[in-house]
Amino acid sequence: MSRRPNRGFGGLKLARLALCACAWLAAFAGVAAAATVVQQATVQPRRSWENYFGVTILPSGRAVVVGDKGVVLTTDDQGRTWWRQQLKRGAKYYDLYSVAFESAGSHGWAVGDNGTIFRTDDRGSTWSEQKAPAGASVALLKVAVVDAQKACASGEQGVILCTIDGGASWNLQKFQDIGFFDIAFADPDNGWAVGEFATVLHTSDGGKSWKVQTGGDRMGKSDPYFAIAFGSGHDGLAVGLTGSALETSDSGKTWKTSDFSIEHRSYYTVSAVPAQTGEIYAAGENGVGVLIAGGRVSQVQSGTSNAITSVAFSPRFAMAVGLLGTLLRSDDGGQHWHPAE
């Protein structure tokens, strides 16, 4: 991955702190047996020494959070109590950066440092380790799930991994030395990955092949994009360094640049708000949070000055996670947040 002293580098340093914690921002034969973990139900204490990097909410209302040293937290009561486990690869715990499930909420994946991949088939109660292909022992920063058999992950050093067989095998593609911080699908065929040098990759065949749609110039000075999401209809949004953004209103065929800056803070996560058609929530550096609708940006108070690394919305509630033990919940579509305890 590039190491250049320009604005892009500075933004990537922020992303490293917020998304990777220790890797900027492997292989075990076959699919391993279910990870051996000790689960415990508890009221989650304030763990200011622990960082959380990914969160998702299942149709059942269960929320799943991943973070430092293989930690996986699950809650079925919107954060009042939690089940806690830590996933191992051999003798080591690797940081987990992202978690995602298929639409029914039973099958999902978590990914992280050193090509770490885990799969669950029981809503996150137990997890099985999967083998990353040779050349993919890098930090996998985000995973997007199409269905129970198909998923793609993106990461540092230009890595894009995709599976069509539930993770029994993964196809590796590389794009120069460009780091990709997020990946999202608008439908089963069309997906996008965003990253360094304002790079946007697009697939129209469910991840079998990818091509550069915008950016990709490693000699340029373009700022990175850290997150991408698609809302209802044909709208999509990518956000990044100091509020830089890309918008699409035609399902990603074309993109236009925008500026959604709030005090020059960077956005690390973005999500559509199901309860409000056309509305998107973005959050990131120093706890910045905004609701974006119709090109207008409204700042909301997150209640934290810690970096927010991931956010997830359901029709009933939303959760945001971040550095230094940040666990937040919203019951009104992201307008107000409070600790998820």
Domains in the chain: ranges and CATH: 7-21+43-339 (2.130.10.10)
What would the mean pLDDT of 47-66 be, rounded to a whole number?
A: 96
Phi, psi at 275, each rounded to 5°: -75, -15
Residues near 5 by beta carbon (within 8 Å), at least 6 away in sequence? none
pLDDT exceeds cutoff 70 at 90: yes
Q: In degrees, to the nearest 5, what angle opens at C-alpha 171 toward C-alphas 14 and 214?
A: 50
Burial class (CB in 10 A: 0-12, 13-18, 19+), 112: buried
pLDDT exceeds cutoff 90 at 87: yes
Task: Provide the whole-model pTM.
Answer: 0.88
Q: In degrees, to the nearest 5, what angle opens at C-alpha 50 toward C-alphas 44 and 51?
A: 110
The per-residue pLDDT for 267 is 97
Most confident of the ranges 50-54, 248-252, 290-294: 50-54
Phi, psi at 297, each rounded to 5°: -115, 125
The per-residue pLDDT for 268 is 97
Residues near 219 by beta carbon (within 8 Å), at least 6 away in sequence? none
CB 323 within 8 A of CB 302: no
